[in-house]
Chains A and B, each alone.
Chain A
Amino acid sequence: MVDEKRDQVTAPGPKVGVYVCHCGGNISDHVDVEKVCEDAKGIPGVVTVKNNMFMCSDPGQQLIMEDLKNGTIDRVVVASCAPSLHESTFRSAISRAGGNPYTYEHANIREQVSWVHHGEGATEKATRLVAAAVGKARELHPLEPFRVDAKRHATVIGGGVAGLRAAKDLADRGIQVVLIEKSPFLGGWTAHWDRLSPTEDDVSELIPELCRQVLDDPAVEVHTCSQVISFEGFIGNFRLGFRKEPPAEGAYAEEIERMKQSGADTGDFIPHVGVCPEPLPEASEEQTVETGVVVLATGFRPYTPRKGEYGYGEIKEVITLPDLIRIIAENRRAGGGQLLQVNGRKIRAMAMIHCVGSRQIPGIHEETEGRPLNQYCSRVCCGATLHAANLIRETHPGTRIFDFYRDIRTYGRGQEEVYEKASDNKVLFFRFEAQDPPEVSGNAGEGDFPVSVKVKDTLTFGEEIETKVDLVVLAVGMEPNDVSDLVEMMKLPVGADRFLLEVHPKLRPVELSVSGVLVAGTSQAPFDVGETCAAASAAAVKASAVLARGGFVELDPFIAEIDMGKCKGTGACVEACIVDGALRMVEMDLDGEKVLRPEVVPALCQGCGACTAVCPENAINVSGWTLKQYEKMVEMIVSEKLAA
């Protein structure tokens, strides 16, 4: 171990200590560490140079801590392995010695020198990298993580299973929640179903249970018949306005009618409707909440077939899967029977057609009425269709079922069994290619089946097969609910499929690009109920982490900072900023004059530096990563003084 304190009295300005690691030969076998240290002493600003067999070891760290404690140095450069391994080690050593962890710079002389260069040039390169690090270190300033006050409060938009699950999770973590639901009911589409595929969960138990948990929790405030009308602010500090008003003429008419007929009270579950938690409002009323995070759980709507698509809207025997699910439940409540019945009509045979409004292919399917193609798979319809088929075959054994599919996608746990069971239940399968869909036609007068379905069946090597049926069920897929107002107001990203778009499907799957705004459930993509709940809980856990520290959110200090002494107010930075709202022009008082100057919104700034590049005065920089620091590094790298 060498300890050579420079006897020269330190100049004013940062006092840099350089610590070079041998890494037990890993570095010193190829880099002459002694020479690096010797040369480093000549670098301007360096007041002490030390080396150690293992800088990361306790004795190594002690070297730094002692020099900091006795005031010899106030900037640290360690030359060792890759920063990913030990940058945090040395930063924490500095903190423990009472220094600021950001007054640190790393020189990577193992992975980027001794392990890749073996000639004599390795030593010179190591020296230059140390010099560059010193050059940067002299420009470093102490930084503090940003603290932004945050309301321990969350707003959930949408009261389907996703919204209910997220609201309850957040409340259980001690966070106040406001849940805003557009319709008069809680439960979303799940409340319209019956028994869920593949687990047989009964929604008349599942939905009331979820609703009860939410409604009974004093931390959750539920507002139905409500819609968001304004939104501003940033993570931790959003202000969100909403309006509660009586449902528009004709809106939810069917559901409200069913509620009236059922005689249910507020809070009771109404089959195929949901839970109505509060009386319908009589007048319009507006409110504002201050909230820390927002969870979007606005869900989906089933695809409505175009008029004439597989005879829909033209042949009355053609219905959708949501219709069928209700019919199955009504039949069961009516006591079953050999044959399924629809409005008193006995169904001897029926056809089910998959992928209606899903997996559409440009060139094969055409865009109509300005409706873009749904190129995605809706994920739940295969399972739900076969599950419905099984329910029918088991309760109404006389009803025969023909199933027309492209691929059977029973992917999830327990779903393949539903498919097998359908085969065992003698559901008859036909497979078609996207370009040869089944043809549905009404057989007015022809035989006694009202509808026929013709298909080129690839399971029998392309044979044309015609089936005669009493009912055709279209397995319609999912489309995102229209939330263009929210998209506009909150600047939400939407994908080509029109669902809300997460930041990254693997790194940040439940976050939207607006920091503090999360997505849960089928507003993001088709999911089944279990997957929806998982997504909702995942969103809730992110929200909970943001609000975990109670009262504030801590953010990286690496954000843009403006030097008002240099700034001329050109506004170029605001224009270049890649995040909406992270930089804005504000009026301020400068030497008694009112001027427009940019202001950084720390909670929104990502610290990319797009602003730095465009400032003619170099008045804006990302703290800890300034342009000046890089210029200094380059100067040191080319410095003649260091030439070997």
Chain B
Amino acid sequence: MSGRENEAKILILATEDCAYPGANAVGQAHMSYPENTYILRVRAPVMFPERFYLDCFEKGIYGIIIASCGVECPYEGAYEALASRIDKVYGMMKERGLDTRRLRLTGICTVCTRAFVKEVNQMNELVTELGPPGTEKKAA
């Protein structure tokens, strides 16, 4: 593992009802995924304002996966609000020259182990390719 890979930190905001137990199921199955991933347990990702995501990129997070409950969200209406906020964040990312694929909204269930690993691997490949946030501008 090279130092660079470890630097490419990916933040995963995982809902306590679905995705967080889903990530635990990956562990119980002893599957494996890259180490540069940090899973934070959240009640509902709808709580994060637009600037939280931008700040994360500013602080040096390479990629963010919002692992939500999707439409099975226990808070009625919250998922829709989240989805429209993420759209706004995409706009703001574009303005700042950030590749919007660095932020991904997805649904992960309590036993969706393969889906979880797939999401993480995809994001990892992407951020390895893109490099640190903010550098894509120069590349282009």
A contact set with B: CB distance below 8 Å: 82-84, 108, 110-112, 115-122, 124-125, 128-129, 132, 513, 558, 576, 578, 606-610, 612-615, 618, 622, 625, 627, 630-631, 633-635, 637-638, 644
Contacts and interface: CB of A to CB of B under 8 A. Distances in A.
A104 to B, nearest CB: 13
Interface string B105-127: 00000000000000000000000
B49 A116 contact: no
Contacts of B61: 634, 637-638
A108 B39 contact: yes
A132 B42 contact: no
Contacts of B83: none
A132 B32 contact: no
Contacts of B9: 637-638
21 contacts: A111-B27, A112-B39, A116-B32, A120-B1, A125-B36, A558-B43, A608-B75, A610-B46, A610-B78, A610-B81, A612-B49, A613-B49, A614-B49, A615-B49, A625-B42, A625-B43, A627-B47, A631-B55, A633-B40, A637-B9, A644-B6
Interface in B79-103: 81, 85
A125 B46 CA distance: 26
B30 interface: yes
A132 B40 contact: yes
Contact of B81 (A119, A576, A607): A576
Nearest to B14: A112
Given A112-B24, A625-B47, A634-B11, A578 B31 contact: no
Looking at chain B's contact residues, the main secondary structure is: mixed
Contacts of A110: 27
A331 to B, nearest CB: 51
> Which 7 A-B pairs rank lowest in CB-CB distance, beginning with the nearest?
A609-B47, A111-B27, A121-B35, A115-B27, A578-B77, A608-B75, A111-B24
Interface in B46-68: 46-50, 52, 55-56, 59-61
Nearest to A122: B35
B118 to A, nearest CB: 14
A630 B24 contact: no
B30 A607 contact: no
A644 B5 CA distance: 13
A84 B76 CA distance: 24
Contacts of B85: 613
Given A124-B6, A622-B47, A630-B40, A112 B52 contact: no
Which among B42, B47, B59, B76 has the greatest number of chain A C-beta atoms within 10 A? B47
A27 B56 CA distance: 29
A607 B77 contact: no
A32 to B, nearest CB: 14
A608 B55 CA distance: 21
Nearest to A615: B49
B27 A129 contact: no
Contacts of B59: 634-635, 638
Interface centre among A608, A622, A633 (most CB of B within 10 A): A608
Contacts of A132: 38, 40
Contact of A610 (B24, B41, B44): B44
